[in-house]
Amino acid sequence: MKRTEIKSYSLEEMKDKYIGKLGTLEREAYEYELRMEMLGKMIKAARLERNLTQEQLGQLVGVQKSQISKLENSSNSATIDTVFKVFKALKADIHFNVTIENQYLQLV
């Protein structure tokens, strides 16, 4: 009986093959959408942790409930100002990491 070896692939290899290599427009669009989706999930999780409805959070931020829904479902690009207001209303800290050519930038 002949034994066949199964090749396994890393997630990065799969993304390179099916989405595009880092730096390509397709991959950049994918990575951006992924980050926006994660941001939406973080907003929703923080809102639920604070026991707020979308409408209540919208009132705290000064936007309509529909805007909060769009943020949570990453169906629109939020301004950085709106994101800051949302997290401030949720009494949550935001931390940013900036990386250039695999090196973290730090403010001193």
Question: 10 vs 15, 16, 50, 77, CA distance in Å?
Answer: 9, 10, 37, 30
Looking at the domain assignment, is residue 4 inside a domain? no
Looking at the domain assignment, is residue 90 inside a domain? yes
| Residue 85 structural domain | 11-105
Number of domains in the chain: 1
The CATH number for 65's domain is: 1.10.260.40
Looking at the domain assignment, is residue 18 inside a domain? yes
Nearest to 17 by CA among 3, 6, 7, 32: 7
Looking at the domain assignment, is residue 98 inside a domain? yes
- Taking residues 91-105, report their average pLDDT: 78
Looking at the domain assignment, is residue 3 inside a domain? no
Band of pLDDT at residue 108, cut at 50, 70 and 90: low
Look up the pTM and report it: 0.71
- Taking residues 52-80, report their average pLDDT: 88
Does residue 75 or residue 35 have the better pLDDT? 35
- Taking residues 89-101, report their average pLDDT: 82
Looking at the domain assignment, is residue 29 inside a domain? yes
